[in-house]
Structures are given as C-alpha cells and as structure tokens.
Structure 1
Amino acid sequence: MTSLSRPHLSDIHHGDWVDRELPTVWRPYTRLARLDRLVGIWLTLFPCWAALIQASHGLPNFGQLVIFSVGALLMRSAGSTVNDMADRKFDGHVERTRFRALASGELGTLHAFVFLAVELMAAASLLLFLTPYTGLIAISVLPLVFLYPFCKRFIHWPQAVLGAAFNWGMLMAWAEVGGHIPTGAVLMWAGAIAWQIGYDTVYAYVDLRDDARLGLKSTAILFGGRGRMWIGLFYALAVGAWSLGGWLLEMSPPYAFGMLVIAVHLAWQTRRIDLARPDLNYRLFHANILTGVLLAGAALSGTW
C-alpha cells in the first residue's frame, strides 16, 4: 500500500480553516506552529493546569493561569518548529508529514529560523511575570526542546525525552505557586511522562513503516508486535505515579475516584489498540485529550 493510498492520515488537511480564512503568507507559519492541530496544545495544557490546581489547592490565580497557558502554547509551537526544521529531509518521505511546510518547500529554513526566534522571544517575555526561581526552571527545559528532534536518529526512546519537555510546565507551576517542587509534584510529572510514552507510542505506530524504512527509531519500532502490552504498562505506571503523587500532595478522597476513571479510560484505549490499523491508532491518540481533562478534573476534585 503506497502512502498516497491513505491520504487521510496526513496531519495537514488542505482546504481547512487555515486555507479558507488566513492570508496566504500566514498559512505555513500557522501550520509550523501547529495552530491548525490543537491536540498537542491540549495535551500540554491539561497536565499543566492540573499542576496549577494542585499547587494552588483549588482554582489557580487567573493571571498565573493565563501566563502558563500562553507559555505552554508558545513553547509547544517552538518545539514543533524545531522538530520540523530538524526533520525536514525526513518528513517528505513519511505519509503523515509529507505536506508540512518545510518538507514540501512551502517555507524556507531561514524563514523558519526567524519564526523560531520570534516564538522564543515571546515565550521569554513571559518570564518577566514569574519569579526568578520559576524562570530558572523554565530555561532548564531548552536543552530537551532542542535535543528531542535528534533522538529518533540514535535511541528508541524519543517519546521519553518529549514527555519530559512536554510536561515541564507541571514543575514550573509548583515552582511558581509553591516556591519549591515537592516529591509528589515530581511523581505527577513522572506519571505524565509515562502517559506520554504510552500515547505517543500509539501515535508512532502510525509512522511505523515509514520510520523503519528511513532508519529512524521509536518505541513503536522497539516494541514491535508487543506494543499493546507495553503501552498498557506505561499507562498503568502513569496512573500509579499520579495516584502516589496525589497522596503525597494530600489530595482528598474524590481524587482517588478520578484516578479510577482515568484507569478505566486508559484500559479501554489499550484494549482498542490494533497495530495493523494506523487510522484507529490515530484516533486513539486523540482520545488522550479526554485523559488530560480527567486529570485536571481529578486534581480539582482532590482539593475539595
């Protein structure tokens, strides 16, 4: 089956609101920042919101909520730009990514570099509203952001590096609100990494054939036919870390019910995985938006 026989798996959908509503010059930058694909933004925001809620012992300060939300959006967009710049020679040969702006030649590398600088400067400006300690924690994530796109060339665990960077805002939330990062908060972050290894492996199975042909590495390639078992294991580790982390953070009993609901949802996902059906795996990846909603909801209920 050729890549052209399954165009619906492409993550660029021509004729969408970007093509209909935006000026031509804005379109490649919008796609480069992933503003046309909000799933990644939601998957970044909900764990960050959960940490803000836990650190605040209830609804967070509105100003902090806005700053962290904008920061998560900007850093996720910057990370996507770095990723597309690093992978521009590979993306054109992968079914899901072949229409991306850099891979297709719609945008040049220099333009992407300037755009990245703007994204990083905008993100850096938010540090003016945060404590110096939080700023130091924020800057510490940059090596992971720039390292991640190259991991798939050398190790089978790029999803772990991405998970650490993707959920860094959880640590920043505690640094800003609490002035320190307790053990429970670190466990919540570790749980988010395990969760991301799970759902990003589901995502990686969409690209399995193309990645293997190009000599790239991923957890999907490493796990092979045992993917469902490993994904289920990492989902279980996520629930375990979140449960223990919540207990250490003195979440109230309703939090445990939230963890049970998350466990059931992730078990359903694991049961549904079919390694031979990339289209189904793509939908299951998107189902993790609900996992993020449930995590934030559990955090809120745990403060009652």
Structure 2
Amino acid sequence: MTDSNSRIVETADAVAGSWVHRHAPVRARPYLKLARMDRPVGTWLLLWPCLWSLALAGMAGHMAGHMVDWPRAAWLAVLFAVGALAMRGAGCTYNDIVDRDLDARVARTRTRPLPAGEVSARGAWAFLAVQCLVGLVVLLQLGPAAIALGLASLLLVAAYPFMKRITYWPQAWLGLTFNWGALMGWTALTGGLGWPAAVLYAACVFWTLGYDTIYAHQDKEDDAMAGIKSTALRLGAHTKRALAVFYGLFFLGLAAAGWLANLPVLHYIGLGFAALHLIWQVRTVRLDDAGHCLAVFRANIRFGWIVLAAIVSGLLPLG
C-alpha cells in the first residue's frame, strides 16, 4: 500500500538503523512510518500506564490476601501491548491526516509520509481503519467496563490534533489522552475502577506534561513561525522550573497510588530510583539542543521499567 510515484525518505527523528528502513518491504515502509514503527518510544509511553495500572491492581489484591489471577494479568499485558501498538499507530495516522499542512511547515515533520508525498490522504484513511479494527478486536477482549472506558477515550483522541491550534497547553490534553491506560489496566483485571487507578491516571498526566514539553523544545522555532502552540513556547526560559513541578506532582501521585493500593516499603525504595531518574532529566536536559531533547525524551522507556519494578517488588520475599 504505497503510491507508485512516492519517494521514500527516512523521517527526521527515526531510530538510527530502524528495521523499518532496513528490512521492511519497500511498499510497506511509508505506512509503517505513518504508524511510527520507526520510532517505538511513543508505543512504550502509551503502554506504560496500562502495565503500571495492571500491576497495581494485581499487587493490591495480593497485598489484601486475595487470590490474584496472574495468568489472566499476563494475558492482559499482551493484549495491552498489541493494543498500544495498534492505537498509537492509529492516533499518529489520524494526527498526520489532520496536521499534514502544518507538518509541511516544520523541518522535523516535513519528512513524514503525508507531507513528503509518500502516502495519499485516501491511503492514510484506509490504513487508519485497519489499525482501528485491530484495536477494536483487542478492546473486545477486556470486559464490559473496560470496553466502555476504551470507547470513551476516542473523544479525547479525536480532539487532540486541534489542541495545538487553540491552546499553548496541548501537552496537557495529550496527558489526558495518552494515559487513559492507567484506568484501563485496573478495570480490565478487576472489572471496575478503583481509587489507586484514578490517582495514577491524574499523576501520569503530569508525567506527560514533563516529557512532551521536553519533546516540544525540538520544534519551538519552527512552531513559532508556523503558528503552532506548545508548552515549550509558553514556558520558554521557565521550562526547567516547570518540569520540576510537573515531575514532582507526578511522583507524589505515583506514591499516593501505591499507598492506596497498600504496597510495601520495597515499592517506595524503588520509587526512589524513579525519582533520581526524573531529577536527572530535569537537571541535564539541554533545551536548545534538539538531539539531546529527543534522547532525554526516549529515556522515559527506561524510566517505565523502573516504575514497573517498583510496583511488583512486593512479590519478592522481602516485600
């Protein structure tokens, strides 16, 4: 599925040596790029709140002395991984369809498949439908409450591309959208919402505000000329102070979610390492260096593993 006269180019912030450009069939590459398969960090950032919430629900049951269906939890983790891959791709495809004219005016995004002419709008819509179908199949495996929650998130997804046109805080809307999995994981395992999941969701919004503000600093000059709004432009020289506030609120919420789930002391020791990682991000990020902003943004993949390990640490004998 690609236009016969398209010229396939490597997108500006793709992972160096990505399998998409080395091994994928040539005709499929523009669509894989449209789904950001050459930039997997977004899939991880969508997946982490799902896994954290799922683990939090399992650990809450474990600490309460309940019999936890860990095989089902593992199966749900697989489903969330597939769903994150499909729905992150679908979200990016939809975003690129809406933003194709704006993307052509920003150096980093003009190499995306739509503004670069590698994919037609009609082809992108068809590809979006395929990805949404995969996401729907996954969603239907999660139970009635989780299905209802998942469908509700589509309102946030549909509105997101337009936020950068009307507010300097599109990163806040992205936080509401991208962290919906913090509600989904708990609900899929337990059949209903719980306060730990709600607090985790609220906390993760601030995590996204932090990492996506760092990401937005890559494009601040082009965004200003193109009329695209972002927290990078709104905060400017005050960004590092704002990052400290965002990440501080996220950390407090993360700790509160663990407390509500009755997690043991090992959890908070693990969160100490997570706090060090967040401090490292704020102190070291060079906001006028686009490459360094991207590297710090990508470091949140590793951060996700630290938080997950902290949540499940109660399974250790010392927990």
TM category, shorter: over 0.9
Of 18, 31, 34, the match for 2:36: 34
* Correspondence for 2:262: 250
Aligned amino acid, residue 310 of structure 2:
A
Aligned amino acid, residue 39 of structure 1:
V
Counterpart check, 1:298 vs 2:310: yes
Contact 1:258 1:297 in 2 (8 A): yes
Shift of 1:105: 0.9
CA distance in 2, matches of 1:110, 1:239: 43
Aligned amino acid, residue 50 of structure 2:
C
Structure 2 counterparts to residues 211-222 of structure 1, below 5 A: 211-222=223-234
Aligned amino acid, residue 48 of structure 1:
C
Q: SS at 1:153's partner residue?
A: helix
Contact 1:9 1:279 in 2 (8 A): no
Of 192, 214, 223, the match for 1:180: 192
Aligned amino acid, residue 23 of structure 2:
E
Contact 2:83 2:139 in 1 (8 A): no
CA distance in 2, matches of 1:30, 1:266: 31
* Correspondence for 1:70: 82
Counterpart check, 1:238 vs 2:250: yes
* Correspondence for 2:125: 113
Contiguous gaps of at least 5 residues in structure 1: 1-7
CA distance in 2, matches of 1:302, 1:156: 41
Counterpart check, 1:169 vs 2:181: yes
Contact 2:73 2:189 in 1 (8 A): no
Aligned amino acid, residue 29 of structure 1:
Y
* Correspondence for 2:24: 22
Contiguous gaps of at least 5 residues in structure 2: 1-9, 63-69
Aligned amino acid, residue 252 of structure 2:
G
RMSD: 1.9
CA distance in 2, matches of 1:9, 1:28: 10
CA distance in 2, matches of 1:183, 1:86: 35
Q: SS at 1:102's partner residue?
A: coil
Q: SS at 1:293's partner residue?
A: helix
* Correspondence for 1:53: 55
Q: Deviations over 1:57-100 (max 9, x none)?
A: 26562221211111111111111111111111111221221111
Give the % identical residues: 40
* Correspondence for 1:11: 13
Greater mean deviation of Cα atoms: 232-241 or 275-284:
275-284
Pair 227,107 (structure 1): closer, same or farther in 2 beyond 3 Å: same
Aligned amino acid, residue 10 of structure 1:
A
Q: Deviations over 1:222-242 (max 9, x none)?
A: 101111110111011110100
* Deviating 4+ runs (over 3 angstroms): 12-16
Contact 2:11 2:111 in 1 (8 A): no
Q: Deviations over 1:200-236 (max 9, x none)?
A: 0000000111111111111111101111110111011
Q: SS at 1:144's partner residue?
A: helix
Aligned amino acid, residue 142 of structure 1:
L
CA distance in 2, matches of 1:74, 1:90: 24
Aligned amino acid, residue 179 of structure 1:
G
Contact 1:225 1:275 in 2 (8 A): no
Pair 267,151 (structure 1): closer, same or farther in 2 beyond 3 Å: same
Q: SS at 2:166's partner residue?
A: coil
